[in-house]
Structure formats: structure tokens, C-alpha cells
């Protein structure tokens, strides 16, 4: 029995700011396009998603299964933080255990008719990434990285890993692309411009979006109010996901 309607999106991220991108995508698909979405927080050792949604309670069990927590806008959410006694407790499990937890989150959570599930991945190509690719029916990967990372081994490895495991890559998102001057609106490409396009060409992948550094987004995330964010930088990514 398949609990899901459609797609699992996995994002390999390498810098904390990438979290905003995922939250933004989720928001756009949930609120603006009326899909039922869910987040599986597979970043087990550094789960930060519940906080961005101002969720501090614990998930409850129903028989052998776990009931996901629902956010203010109706996103179903499962994270290891929702199972810990205190959300500030550190998670000290090792690779194989963590892998088991991700599978359990997928299989033992009572997801309610999800159209799109976003899986938040820890940085890099470690145990969790491998486990997600092996045990979840992933339809596509969005690789989010800074300009430097996009031209580095980190992203090369992520691309290769997905290709070796026959997981389609939806495309790349350049994070921390630029800062917009609040006075004149001029875009300042503090990490250089144009390198990402070259890297995308080299990987044979579309560059779906460029995401600026935006203090407002950071503040909403810190305040647990991510669902209030308005912005359109990543609409191209949403379109690419919905076309799949
Ligand atoms: Zn200016």
C-alpha cells in the first residue's frame, strides 16, 4: 500500500540558509497551489524545521504508528525533534540507527493523503542520504548550494551519487547568490557571478533559481513564522517540481 500520491523531493543542502529554500518551496506548493504537502526532516542530527514552524510539542502515537504534527497552514511534519523529551536534547545516534529512523518516519507515520513530500537532507553524501535514496521512493532531487559549493567536489559528489542510484535530479538552486541593496535595488554578487551557470552546464543540469541572502527570511525562520513569508525567487523550482 502506497501512502503517497506523488512525489518525494529530496534536497541535498550544504549550508544552513538552504533550509529557507525548502520551506519556501513547501509554502508555495501548499498555500499557493493547494497541494497537500509534508516534510520529513531527515536531518536527524541537526533538526531545525519544527522551530521554523513554531512547533515545540511532541508527536503522539496511535497504536504502532506516529501521528505527524500539522503546521498552521496544514503541512504535515515529522522530525526527530518531535520525539525527543526536550527539543534541546542532542541526538547522538550513529549512522545505521539514524538510517532506521528515517525509514520509520516514512513507513510508521500516519501521513494523510500527501501529494508532495519534501525530505530535508543533511549536508553531503553520508549515511542518511544513502539510506533515503535506498529506502524511499524518491522522485527527484533538488541540489541547493552556495556559489562556491556548486563548483566544488561537494556538489559533484552529490550529483554522482544521485546518478549512480538512478534518482533524477530536478535541478540546481544557487543559494546566497547575491545581496540586494536596500537603497537602489542593485544586486551585489559577493561570491562572484557566472560560475554557477558554468557548473550547471558541466553537470548537464538546469539552474532553476538564484536565491539572495534575505535578512527577512532569516528572521521569520528564527521567529517560527516561516509560513508568513512572501517572495517569488523560487517559482521556477516549484514549476519544475509540478511538471515532473
Ligand atoms: Zn545601492
pLDDT for the residue 243: 76
38 CA from centroid of ligand 1 (Å) = 39
Answer with the residue of higher pLDDT: 14 or 241: 241
pLDDT for the residue 46: 65
Question: Count of residues for the chain?
Answer: 244
State pLDDT tens for residues 47-71. 678 888 888 878 888 888 889 999 8
179 CA from centroid of ligand 1 (Å) = 10
213 CA from centroid of ligand 1 (Å) = 15
CA-to-CA distance for 241 and 139, rounded, in angstroms? 10
73 CA from centroid of ligand 1 (Å) = 36
CA-to-CA distance for 152 and 242, rounded, in angstroms? 29
Answer with the residue of higher pLDDT: 129 or 5: 129
Vertex 198 angle, CA 196 and 201, to 5° = 110
Mean pLDDT of 192-221: 86
For 106-145, b/e burial (b = at least 16 CB within 10 A) is beebebeebbbbbbbbbbebebbbebbbeebebbbbbbbb
State pLDDT tens for residues 167-194. 888 888 888 889 888 899 899 998 888 7
231 CA from centroid of ligand 1 (Å) = 20
186 CA from centroid of ligand 1 (Å) = 5
178 CA from centroid of ligand 1 (Å) = 13
Work out the percent of the chain whose per-residue pLDDT is above 70: 79
191 CA from centroid of ligand 1 (Å) = 17
Backbone φ, ψ for residue 113 (5° rounding): 50, 60
Answer with the residue of higher pLDDT: 94 or 140: 140
Examine the pLDDT at 197 and tell me if it is beyond 70: yes
158 CA from centroid of ligand 1 (Å) = 36
pLDDT for the residue 196: 84
Answer with the residue of higher pLDDT: 90 or 170: 170
DSSP string, the chain: ---EEEEEEEEEE-STTHHHHHHHHHHIIIIIT---EEEEE--TTS--HHHHTT--S--EEETTEEEPEE-TT--EEEEGGGTSSSTTPPP---HHHHHHHHHHHHHSB---SEEEEEEEPPSSSSHHHHHHHHHS---EEEEEE-HHHHTSHHHHHHHHHHHHTTPPEEEEEE-S--EE-TTT--EE-TT-SSHHHHHHHHHT--EEEE----HHHHHHHHTT-GGG----TTHHHHHHHHH-
Residue 81: closest CA among 99, 62, 55: 55
CA-to-CA distance for 27 and 37, rounded, in angstroms? 9
214 CA from centroid of ligand 1 (Å) = 15
pLDDT for the residue 17: 45
180 CA from centroid of ligand 1 (Å) = 8
33 CA from centroid of ligand 1 (Å) = 35
185 CA from centroid of ligand 1 (Å) = 6
DSSP string, 37-92: EEEEE--TTS--HHHHTT--S--EEETTEEEPEE-TT--EEEEGGGTSSSTTPPP-
pLDDT for the residue 232: 76
- How many Cβ atoms are within 10 Å of 50's Cβ, its own excluded? 23
Examine the pLDDT at 209 and tell me if it is beyond 60: yes
State pLDDT tens for residues 121-176. 777 777 777 888 888 888 888 888 888 877 778 788 888 888 998 888 888 888 88
Amino acid at each position: 500500500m502506497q501512502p503517497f500520491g506523488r512525489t518525494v523531493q529530496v534536497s541535498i543542502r550544504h549550508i544552513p540558509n538552504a533550509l529557507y529554500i525548502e520551506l519556501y518551496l513547501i509554502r508555495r506548493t501548499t498555500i499557493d497551489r493547494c497541494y497537500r504537502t509534508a516534510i520529513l526532516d531527515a536531518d536527524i542530527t541537526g533538526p531545525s524545521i519544527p522551530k521554523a514552524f513554531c512547533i515545540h510539542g511532541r508527536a503522539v502515537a496511535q497504536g504502532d504508528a506516529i501521528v505527524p504534527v500539522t503546521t498552521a497552514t496544514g503541512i504535515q511534519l515529522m522530525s526527530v525533534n518531535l520525539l525527543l523529551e526536550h527539543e534541546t536534547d542532542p541526538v547522538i545516534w550513529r549512522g545505521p540507527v539514524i538510517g532506521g529512523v528515517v525509514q520509520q518516519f516514512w513507513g510508521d507515520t500516519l501521513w494523510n493523503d500527501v501529494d508532495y513530500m519534501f525530505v530535508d537532507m543533511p549536508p553531503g553524501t553520508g549515511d542518511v542520504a544513502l539510506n533515503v535514496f535506498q529506502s524511499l521512493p524518491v522522485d527527484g532531487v533538488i541540489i541547493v548550494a552556495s556559489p562556491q559549493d556548486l563548483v566544488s567536489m561537494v556538489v559533484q559528489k552529490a550529483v554522482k551519487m544521485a546518478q549512480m542510484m538512478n534518482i533524477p535530479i530536478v535541478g540546481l538552486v544557487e543559494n546566497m547568490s547575491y545581496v540586494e541593496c536596500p537603497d537602489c535595488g542593485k544586486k551585489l554578487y559577493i561570491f562572484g557571478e557566472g560560475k554557477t551557470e558554468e557548473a550547471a552546464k558541466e553537470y548537464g543540469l538546469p539552474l532553476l533559481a538564484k536565491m539572495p541572502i534575505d535578512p527577512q527570511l532569516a528572521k521569520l525562520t528564527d521567529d517560527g513564522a516561516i509560513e508568513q513569508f512572501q517572495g517569488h525567487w523560487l517559482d521556477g523550482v516549484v514549476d519544475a517540481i509540478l511538471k515532473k
